[in-house]
Amino acid sequence: MKKRLAKITIKDVAEHAGVSTTTISRFLNGRFEAMSQETKMRIQQSVEQLDYKPNQLARGLRNDRSNTIGFVVADIGNPYTVSVIQGVEEVCTQLGYSIIISNANENPEKERDCLIMLESKQIDGLIINSTGKNNDLLMRIGKSVPVLLIDRKLPGMPFDTVTTNNSQGIMQAIEHLLERGCQGIHLMISTPDGISPRYERIMAFEQFAKRNPLLKTSLTIAEAYSQELITAHVKELVENRSSQETIGLILGNGKLSLMALKAVHQLHYQVPKDLLLVGFDDPEWASIARPTLTVIAQPTYEIGRQAAEMIIAQIEKEQEYLPRTVELMMQLIPRESTGRQDA
């Protein structure tokens, strides 16, 4: 059986899919420009049905390893991603591995293209900040090379995961706002859309609200990053508070934090007099904004380091293992937006 599969060529795949060998070559190298979704799906089906492994002979001659790790990121423009990449890169450089970074831009279809391209590059392992919409392809890749999930869990998937304790992060934010005298605590977060950290933060907040029915709480799901909508929500929170009420707003990520600060300036509110703000993540601007922003910081660099160490250990161990999830703790950094004067 293995001998027969080893003889499958690009020409065989092209004939099966009804396209040219040039198109197959472009597909295998991740060059999808001017290629329709229907064509990509047809080629992918042919690859799977024929069990075609790109450059199998070349891989064998190379002694089974390319010393390359693929890394699919959800949003390369996010400060979280940049810091994680730095951690991954440092460990890979120290241990003699290179990385191929591919940006999915929070788009499941683009993520699938990234995965197909990396699979064709003969990577030794894959790190991914997954959208959760391509589990079938991840499972197939995982049969050949180790796969590790960063930040976002995929329940039921047999892969290592490195993430943060989102419940602990939410409780840190809530407890800090209570210590600062808030009688109303509100959470604004992006649409969960299968992304586990968002679900975990929402669940932790809702559980706290149930345990404290006398405290005024609210949850707002921001379905789009619209400055107009964020500004309207901030205005509503401030205008609906009682004259003696101190309120705090927790922002679920860096983008929402920045938009909330812009809203405060547009509405000419005083922070923390009119409301207190706590953001998730610690982008560079948070410490120089006016006011400086209190944040729940994720150990992003350490996430990258641990992810790289774990996947390289899998690659080099070459034996069965039990998937594990590593949850790192978050850190509260108090600043002016909650009444703490920076030193």
pLDDT (tens digit per residue) in 70-97: 999 998 888 889 899 999 999 998 888 9
Check whether residue 174 and residue 59 sit in a common domain: no
pLDDT of residue 335: 97
Q: Among residues 13, 31, 64, which one ends one of the domains? A: 64
Mean pLDDT calculated for residue range 29-52:
81
Whole-angstrom Cα distance, residue 295 to residue 309?
28
Domain limits for position 194? 166-298+332-338
**98 located within any domain:** no
Backbone angles phi, psi at 330, to 5 degrees: -95, 170
**Residue with token string 């619209």:** 226
Q: Classify residue 3: in a domain, yes or no.
A: yes
| pLDDT for residue 58 is more than 60 | no
pLDDT, mean of residues 292-319: 90
Is there a domain that residue 77 lies in? no
Mean pLDDT of all residues in 230-246: 93
Whether residue 107 has pLDDT greater than 80 = yes
317 versus 248: the higher-pLDDT residue is: 248
Strands 331-333 and 294-297, how do they pair?
antiparallel
**Percent of all residues in the chain with a pLDDT value above 90, rounded to a whole number:** 64
At residue 56, the pLDDT reads: 42
DSSP 231-286: HHHHHHHHHTS-TT--EEEEESSHHHHHHHHHHHHHTT--TTTT-EEEEES--GGG
Whether 266 is in a domain gets the answer yes
The total domain count for the chain is: 2
Read off the pLDDT of each residue in 49-59 and give the average, rounded to a whole number.
Answer: 62
Residue 157 lies in a domain: no
- Residue 295 is classified by DSSP as E
For β-strands 276-280 and 325-328, DSSP reports them as unpaired
Residue 316 has pLDDT above 60, yes or no: yes
Residue type, 268: H
Instruction: Give yes or no for residue 226 having a pLDDT over 80.
Output: yes
Tracing tokens 């789009």 back to the chain, one arrives at 224
Domain boundary among the residues 26, 49, 64 is at 64
Q: Is 103 helix (H, G, I), strand (E, B) or coil?
A: strand
Instruction: Say whether the peptide bond before residue 291 is cis (omega within 30 degrees of 0).
Output: yes
Residues ≥6 apart with Cβ < 8 Å to 212? none
For residue 27, tell me if it sits in a domain.
yes
- Residues 21-49 have a mean pLDDT of 79
Q: How is residue 40 written in tokens?
A: 């990509």
On whether the CB atoms of residues 185 and 217 are closer than 8 A, the answer is yes
CATH number assigned to the domain comprising residue 26: 1.10.260.40
CATH number of the domain enclosing 257: 3.40.50.2300
Q: Within 10 A of 301 (CB to CB), how many other CB atoms are there?
A: 16
113, part of any domain? no
Residue 230 lies in a domain: yes
State the chain's mean pLDDT as an integer. 88
Instruction: Answer whether residue 293 shows pLDDT above 90.
Output: yes
Domain end position, chosen among 64, 92, 119: 64
